[in-house]
Structure 1
């Protein structure tokens, strides 16, 4: 069991019970995701956590698979899907590289990529799971663009929190520009971006996988 799996398993119940930090930004994000979904889409959500987003979006699509590193998180997600009577939602446990192969019409990754050790490798795993012409939709806190003393103090305290097991072992400080460039370099054409919220920027990207050149 990896250190981060232990961390997320340990906090799963508390995470599931905690309210959404910014309800307006979350609702707007879901609205923008829905704008790109169709009823015949197959969807994979990476880093699905306790399944709130997958359960909310499941009625909009044909199938959705909620995948996460943490078995405890996925157990909660499975319970939420069953409670909602969602017969089109499945679950999977594993790292991004071990997620179901697909290909899928849409791959989602919300609040995930800043917690992974190798962004380019993770995006390559995503690209391998999106069908040609399919969509990759992500949202990533861009800690490299944070402004203000409150956020800087948070970053200063992060190493101590990590040593005490109070934060994930990997927290990357990407900028908005770095995320856009990495997604484009992974073989995607960016078709929509936004920051919800704007400070610190939680960067939303909708990107279409480029079809191979004949």
Structure 2
């Protein structure tokens, strides 16, 4: 299996051209998130991909720092932001582990379509909690690999060996919710557009 950085660098150009699979659900997630956002907020997004979501949310907040493990993804995101005239979004290559970020410095953290791709999602959720100000929110949208059709669950390992699929975690919704609660979050909003994914807004309680 390729390293995550090499995998996402390779697929970045194709990823940037790919249409959103479920536009209606994506727009609902954007709308729900923007109900929480405030003009004076600082926002951090990890796993930002080519920056589409950060660019959409940027006009609604003071500043967004958006990061991705793939430098090629970040380059595309920065170019898209310039083309859109977005000046309050900064794109940087890095991960939760590699970036030196100040504790309790963000009002919101976005982790969209990323938790199931991490080696240690539990540790990542704890790191997110540490980055948030008290009462801050963590917005996540996660593929529930454990709920995928059997065909995909059997095919993914073979695709990984051939370099056509990244690492994935196989937790279900309840396991994800438990990780959030154990890290000091309460669940403020939960929505499943389908059995195989879940959108959650969690609030930092401690």
The whole-number CA distance in structure 2 between the counterparts of 1:186 and 1:96 is 16
Contact 1:92–1:99, Cα closer than 8 Å, also in 2: no
Q: Distance in 2 between matches of 1:128 and 1:76?
A: 29
Equivalent residue, structure 2, for 1:156: 154
Does 2:179 align with 1:182? Answer: yes
On the 8 A contact 1:38/1:61 being kept in 2, the answer is yes
Asked if structure 2 preserves the Cα contact closer than 8 Å seen for 1:137 and 1:207, the reply is yes
Q: Equivalent of 1:173, from 166, 170, 180?
A: 170
Using a 3 Å threshold, how does the CA distance of structure 1 residues 61 and 100 change in structure 2: closer, same or farther? farther
- Normalised TM-score (structure 2): 0.95
Partner Cα separation in structure 2 for residue 124 and residue 178 of structure 1? 14
CA contact (8 A) 1:189 1:209 kept: yes
Offset of 1:199 from its aligned partner? 3.0
Provide, for residues 146-204 of structure 1, a one-character-per-residue CA deviation record: whole Å limited to 9, x for no partner: 3xxxx210111111110111000x11111111111100111111111111x2132x111
RMSD of aligned residue pairs (Cα, Å): 1.2
> Cα distance, 1:97 vs. partner?
1.7
After superposition, what is the alpha-carbon deviation per residue over 1:99-156, rounded to whole angstroms, capped at 9, x for unaligned?
351410000000001001111111111112111111111111112233xxxx210111
Q: How many residues align?
A: 203
Task: Write out aligned runs for 1:82-161 (5 A).
Answer: 82-99=82-99, 101-102=101-102, 103-146=105-148, 151-161=149-159
Q: Distance in 2 between matches of 1:69 and 1:113?
A: 13
Partner of 2:203: 208
Q: Distance in 1 between matches of 2:109 and 2:100?
A: 11
Gaps of 5+ in 2: none
What is the TM-score normalised by the length of structure 1? Answer: 0.91
- Structure 1 residues 7-156: aligned runs within 5 Å: 7-99=7-99, 101-102=101-102, 103-146=105-148, 151-156=149-154
Unaligned runs of 5+ in 1: none
CA deviation profile, 1:57-86 (whole Å, cap 9, x unmatched): 111111011111000000000001111111
Task: Write the distance in 2 (CA, Å) between the matches of 1:138 and 1:56.
Answer: 16
